[in-house]
Amino acid sequence: MNLEDAQHRIEQLRKEILQRNYEYFVLDESRVSEAVRDALKKELIALESQYPQLVTPDSPTQRVGSVLSGRFPKVKHKSRKWSLADVFSLEELQEWEERVEKGVGKTELITELKLDGLNITLWYEKGLLLRALTRGDGNEGEDVTHSIRTIRNIPLRLFEPIDLEVSGEVLLSKKSFEKMKDEGFANARNAAAGTVRQLDPAVAAARELTMYCYSLGETSVDAPETQSGILKWFQSLGLPVFAKFEVHQSAEDSIHFLKKWKKNREDLPFEIDGVVFKVNEKAKQEEMGFTAKTPRFAVAYKFPAEQTTTVVEGITIQIGRTGAATPVAELRPVLVAGSTVSRATLHNEDEIARKDVRIGDTVIIQKAGDVIPEVVEVLLNLRPESAKNYTFPTHCPMCETLLERPEGEAVRRCPNGECPGRRRESFIHFVSKHALDIDTLGEKVVDGLIEFGFLKDFADFFSLTKNQLLELPFFKEKKAQNILDGIAARKTIELHRLLFGLGIRFVGEQVAKDLAKFLNSRKQSSEAIETKSSEVMQLLADCTQEELEAVEGFGERIAESIVEWARLPHSRHVMERLSEAGVRLRWPTQIEAREGIVGKTFVLTGTLTRSRDEVKKEIEAAGGHVSGSVSAKTDYLLAGEEAGSKLDKAKELGIQVLSEAEYNSLKA
């Protein structure tokens, strides 16, 4: 990028960030996540670092906080309010810790949860609450005392008659936000900010805001010499403090705290978006000082973004195992949700048109859990003049077959069952985690096996030889043996895994489990523990659509798909070949019904002595069901340590809460 291009991109980024900041800080109507704003700012910082001559005083990188809305009186802060520098990886965190050690030597660190709310500063005079200000631009903020006084956990009078300036975070709990979901706020943080800026304090009083204090400004008395001491002192004065903070003697311990809350944050009653690391001793904080914008003694580790921005460098078509032709955005690689992403789904041609995605556009992408990243929105302000429209192909790019779009569907499909694209995706699905779960067989290995002609159908996985594997590029004896061992360990597998792995349309993981139970009820020998795939094939072929529709949760579409698959000669051939290869299938385990397990729906929360996945499998094996959220249909909430919002909701709905010991007694 030359100087002229960089200047144009910087101007576009500043305009976009200004608009997003205005929505977020002033209107409280942000349409994007904070991670998106972080990504835009990070790109701007990188460009300004590369071209420092282009930095201007009004750049978003050169000031703290946000513009004021003008709706409330502006008041100058007693002491400057700072924003924390952000880090997004353990490497960046380590670099900060090394700078701390270089500056003040080995020292204690305190870790606090980064609450995702609105920063507010309180002024107390002689122990009485006098004023509450937003952070504003760091030098002056808006007077929102009328709303803050309604927050029940903020004392109107301290336990001691002192002057005090203290800052913290105003929050709306997940439980309270759930009650407001129809009021149009994007998230709990926006709802909290919008509530604070209500002109009518009765509105704020009705919305159950909470505040937690964590930062000391000016005070008329001597304060403790450490941040941990200050937090405890706040509590002694009657100020609310979010007590989940820890003091650590080493970086290793502090990172353990980070990993713990990164894993368990969903169980907290409030949203958090990271962990704050600070030098604990105030004297060493003063010794380290500040940059022009941030304190050197503290940093905020932001959890991996679920959303970020990047550039669409091309659009390609991916053919799925059912023939679906899915457009995929080829992206400039970017880190999202903890991994580097270079591709994101565009779903279908209607979505491309609706979102007006063009090659060259800057887009917002998001990723949640194991879901493939998707393009959420085009940032039109950043569209270059060279952006190109995309024309959806009429023929399959893998086999040249004319793509079909059935009436009423949004997806074009390749009808050719022998399409190389469909076969490849079917093989990858067959060995995936929730199917046969052969983790040594990744996509690159599958591609190699196809290229060398070693895979014609699923049964070929079980007849692979070491000599065949050693023909693949970069294969050595150990790697080949690991793959063969992984395959051998799956020659006997749960029936539902195979049913899912076969790729029958509409047969997902849960449907496969329910189908396995149904077939188990129809088998000839009730004592049989294992069977061949050929016997399962015969049971499937004997099923009528009406019988399958009667299975709870199936319906017409699923039943019709299973019957159609079972009638295909290719399906029978595959199942017979799997039998010949020695694959054995385990019927669902028959467990004697025990009150409290069979037919009951459980929700798990908090930290248990075993992994949640292990407990989930145990409940399902005993005939129970595990759900991810609490509802009126929940029978039991199994609550471990640090249980959060799910526990609150269970109590609200009158759901029975079990400790781990009480749960264990149900199995006895």
For 474-496, b where at least 16 C-beta lie within 10 A, e where not — what string?
A: ebeeeebeebeebbeebeebbbb
Q: Which helix (H) or strand (E) holds 343?
A: strand 339-345
In the block, tokens 């690991």 appear at: 482
Q: In this structure, are residues 365 and 306 in contact, taking their beta carbons and an 8 Å threshold?
A: no
Q: In this structure, are residues 329 and 312 in contact, taking their beta carbons and an 8 Å threshold?
A: yes
Tokens representing 66? 């946000």
Tell me how far apart the terminal alpha carbons of the chain are, to the nearest angstrom: 68
DSSP helix/strand/coil, 87: strand
Task: HSE, CB side, 13 Å, CA atoms: give it for residue 551.
Answer: 25
DSSP helix/strand/coil, 340: strand
Tokens representing 459? 């049964």
Exposed, middle or buried: residue 127 (CB in 10 Å: 0-12, 13-18, 19+)? Answer: middle
Q: Are strands 74-76 and 298-302 parallel, antiparallel or unpaired?
A: unpaired
* CA distances (Å), origin 244, targets 162, 257, 276: 26, 10, 12
> What does the alpha-carbon distance between residue 384 and residue 502 come to, in Å, rounded to a whole number?
45
453 dihedral zone (left: phi>0; alpha: psi -120 to 50; beta): left
Which of 81, 114, 284, 302 is the catalytic position?
114
DSSP helix/strand/coil, 627: strand
Q: For residue 114, indicate whether it is catalytic.
A: yes
> What does the alpha-carbon distance between residue 482 and residue 485 come to, in Å, rounded to a whole number?
5
For the chain, how many residues are written?
668
Tokens representing 435? 């199917």
Considering only CA atoms, which of 151, 150, 166 is closest in space to residue 235? Answer: 166
Q: In this structure, are residues 625 and 602 in contact, taking their beta carbons and an 8 Å threshold?
A: yes
Q: In this structure, are residues 341 and 335 in contact, taking their beta carbons and an 8 Å threshold?
A: yes
Q: In this structure, are residues 430 and 387 in contact, taking their beta carbons and an 8 Å threshold?
A: no
> What does the alpha-carbon distance between residue 147 and residue 191 come to, in Å, rounded to a whole number?
13
Catalytic residue annotation: 114
